[in-house]
C-alpha cells in the first residue's frame, strides 16, 4: 500500500478526481437504495453509478503511470476537466430523469449537452492515445520493459473499448440483436488497462527475471484480448454474455487463464523483499 500511496502523492489532482468518480458512484447506489433504480422518465441510476466508478478507476489507473510518460500539466488538467464535465452531465442528468446520451424525453438544450458529452468522451480518447503512444516508442527490455509491454496490450484493449463506446453512441444505445448488449465488451476492454499492466507491475516489483516476466505479460495480454474477442463474438450474434455457448466457454476459460497468471505474479511479489516495503 505504501508504494501505491507514494505514486499517487505525485499526482494528487488526478488521484482525487478519480476518487470523486468512485464517490459519485456510491451516491448513485445510495439513490438506488432509497429511490429505486429508475428516475422517471428515463434516468437509470445504475448506469450513472457504473459510469462514474469506471471513469474514476480509469483515472486512478492513469495516475499510476502518467509520471513516467513525461506529459505536461496541460494534458493533466485537460483530462481532469473533461472527466469532471462527464461526471456532471452523467450524474445530474440521470438524477433529473434523463438519459445523458440517448434521451428521447429531454429538451433540445439537454440533448445538446448529450452531444458535448460525446465530444468529451472523444477528447478523453485522444488524450489517452497521446499518453499511451509514448509506450510504443520505448523498448520492452530493461527495468520498465515488462510494464511497457503490458501497457501496449492494455492500450489495444482500451482502444477496443473506445471503439465500442463510439458504436453505442452511433447506434443510439448498447443493445444489439435479440438480447446482446455491448456494455460487457466495453467494460472488458477498459479493464484490460488495469488487468494486464497489473501483472507487469507485480512481476517488476518482485524482480522476476526479465525473460520470464516478458513471457507472462505476453500471455496475460493475449488471453485478455482473447476474452474480449470471445465476448465480441457472443455479442455480435445478438446473445447475452450470460447465455451458454462456445463463445462464453472460451471467454470463461481464457479469463481463468489470466487469473492463474495474475495469481502467479501475486505470489512472486508476496515472496519478494518488495512486499515488506509495499505493506509498510
Per residue in 132-176, pLDDT (tens digit) is 888 888 777 777 889 999 999 999 999 999 899 888 877 777 888
- 243 lies in the same domain as 279: yes
Which range marks the domain in which residue 81 is found?
A: 1-137
Q: Which helix (H) or strand (E) holds 149?
A: helix 145-171
Query: Which of the listed residues 111, 137, 163 is the one where a domain comes to its end?
Result: 137
Query: Which of the listed residues 137, 163, 183 is the one where a domain comes to its end?
Result: 137
pLDDT for residue 279 is more than 60: no
- 203 lies in the same domain as 251: yes
The Cα 174–Cα 230 span in angstroms is: 17
Average pLDDT over residues 213-239: 95
CA 156-164-233 angle, to 5 degrees, is 85
Q: Which of 3-12, 187-196, 220-229 has the highest mean pLDDT?
A: 220-229
- 113 lies in the same domain as 183: no
Angle at which helix 210-236 crosses helix 145-171, to 10 degrees, equals 10
Check if the beta carbon of residue 204 is closer than 8 Å to that of residue 146: yes
**Per-residue pLDDT tens for 45-60?**
998 999 999 999 999 9
Average pLDDT over residues 223-241: 94
- 11 lies in the same domain as 80: yes
Amino acid at each position: 500500500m505504501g508504494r501505491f500511496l507514494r505514486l499517487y502523492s505525485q499526482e494528487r489532482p488526478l488521484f482525487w478526481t478519480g476518487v470523486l468518480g468512485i464517490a459519485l458512484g456510491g451516491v448513485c447506489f445510495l439513490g438506488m437504495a432509497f429511490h429505486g433504480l429508475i428516475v422517471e422518465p428515463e434516468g437509470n441510476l445504475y448506469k450513472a453509478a457504473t459510469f462514474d466508478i469506471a471513469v474514476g478507476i480509469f483515472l486512478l489507473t492513469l495516475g499510476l503511470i502518467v509520471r513516467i510518460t513525461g506529459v505536461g500539466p496541460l494534458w493533466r488538467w485537460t483530462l481532469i476537466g473533461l472527466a469532471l464535465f462527464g461526471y456532471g452531465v452523467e450524474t445530474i442528468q440521470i438524477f433529473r430523469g434523463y438519459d445523458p446520451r440517448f434521451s428521447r424525453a429531454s429538451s433540445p438544450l439537454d440533448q445538446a449537452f448529450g452531444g458535448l458529452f460525446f465530444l468529451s468522451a472523444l477528447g478523453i480518447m485522444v488524450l489517452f492515445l497521446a499518453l499511451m503512444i509514448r509506450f510504443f516508442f520505448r523498448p520492452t527490455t530493461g527495468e520498465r520493459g515488462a510494464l511497457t509491454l503490458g501497457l501496449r496490450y492494455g492500450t489495444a484493449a482500451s482502444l477496443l473499448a473506445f471503439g465500442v463506446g463510439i458504436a453505442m453512441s452511433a447506434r443510439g444505445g448498447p443493445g444489439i440483436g435479440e438480447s446482446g448488449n455491448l456494455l460487457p465488451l466495453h467494460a472488458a476492454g477498459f479493464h484490460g488497462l488495469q488487468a494486464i499492466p497489473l501483472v507487469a507491475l507485480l512481476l517488476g516489483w518482485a524482480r522476476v527475471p526479465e525473460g520470464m516476466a516478458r513471457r507472462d505479460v505476453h500471455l496475460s495480454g493475449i488471453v485478455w484480448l482473447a476474452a474480449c474477442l470471445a465476448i465480441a463474438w457472443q455479442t455480435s450474434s445478438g446473445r447475452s454474455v450470460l447465455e451458454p455457448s462456445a463463445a462464453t466457454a472460451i471467454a470463461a476459460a481464457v479469463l481463468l487463464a489470466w487469473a492463474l497468471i495474475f495469481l502467479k505474479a501475486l505470489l512472486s511479489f508476496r515472496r519478494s523483499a518488495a512486499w515488506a516495503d509495499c505493506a509498510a
